[in-house]
Amino acid sequence: MKILAVCQSGLGSSFMVQMNVQQILKDENVDVDANDITVDHSDVGSATADSADYFFVESTLADALGSIPKDRIVLLKSLIDKKETAEHVNYVLDNENIAHD
Amino acid sequence: MLNDLLNQETVQLTDATDLSWEAAIRLAAQPLVANGSVTEQYVNSMIDVVNNQGPYINIGDHIALAHTRPENGSNRISLALLKTNHDIALVNQDHPITLWFVLSAVDSDSHLEVIKQLMTLLTNEATVKQLMAASSAEDLLTIIHSRNE
């Protein structure tokens, strides 16, 4: 399962989200290797439906991901609110039947 | 690294009430233009990006991280911070901003350590509260430097 954090330039904010998601997976004691979970970041222009299973993006950029199915896009109001990101990560984990705390 | 980039030169605070969001980004970036980290073109590009893509640089409650691609006039990795004592609406009233960070990078990877340290700072709610309440540039620096090594 691959999570891709996406932002307009692929430079700053997407990497922030990637770091948060990775930290949350750790906090939730998710076995990343056994479940083959990868987390990466990219700019919005390079992201295609094949790039990942789930796309985390700041909510005002939602329209830029038009070609990607809505049920695979996670919209974030804040990129630095760990609680908000954690709720979304847990939703994805439950959706994929991956064990977590 | 954050401690080197955010210093007496690059951290500012203003009481201005009449700044537009464009003017706030220009003011925040001014020290980086002055020391040659970025060009005027870079500043214009940061503003264009928001005009074209919307207020996505509003990365957290009352916090903006203005930046654009390195090829638009960035000479080195740099970071600046402006605190506006009065909130300024970024594009619209749904995005009030108090802390304006400006970031420049030279490629896609070498600035990631800065982002990491900035995230450590900004995901700490107590630190952010202190920054929002700071009444001088010196206060801002003291808070940043005491939190971050």
Q: Which amino acid is at B122?
A: L
Mean pLDDT of chain B: 94
Cross-chain CB nearest to B60 (options A11, A15, A78)? A78
Please check whether residue B148 is in contact with residue B117, taking contact to mean a CB–CB distance below 8 angstroms: yes
Q: What's the pLDDT at A61?
A: 87
Domains of chain A, first to last: 2-95 (3.40.50.2300)
Residue found by looking up tokens 């957290």 in the block: B60
pTM above 0.80, yes or no: yes
Judged against a pLDDT cut of 70, whether residue B148 lies above it is answered with no
Per-residue pLDDT band for B9 (boundaries 50, 70, 90) equals very high
Mean pLDDT of chain A: 92
Condensed to tens digits (0 to 9), the pLDDT of residues B49-104 reads 999 988 989 999 999 999 999 999 999 999 999 999 999 999 999 999 999 999 99
Asked if B54 lies within 8 A of A61 by C-beta distance, the reply is yes
Domain boundaries, given as residue ranges, for chain B? 2-147
ipTM of the predicted structure? Answer: 0.79
Q: How many residues does chain B have?
A: 149
Q: What's the pLDDT at B25?
A: 98
Cross-chain CB nearest to A61 (options B56, B60, B119)? B56
Q: Does B13 touch chain A (CB under 8 A)?
A: no
Topology, domain B2-147: Mannitol-specific EII; Chain A (3.40.930)
Closest CA to B100 of B5, B1, B25: B25
Cross-chain CB nearest to A80 (options B53, B56, B123)? B123
- Alpha-carbon gap, residue B4 to B37, rounded angstroms: 14
Judged against a pLDDT cut of 60, whether residue B149 lies above it is answered with no
Q: What's the pLDDT at B21?
A: 98
Q: Tell me how close the Cα of B54 comes to any Cα of chain A, in angstroms.
A: 7
- Alpha-carbon gap, residue B124 to A82, rounded angstroms: 10
CA A23 to chain centroid, in Å, comes to 12
- Alpha-carbon gap, residue B14 to B120, rounded angstroms: 25
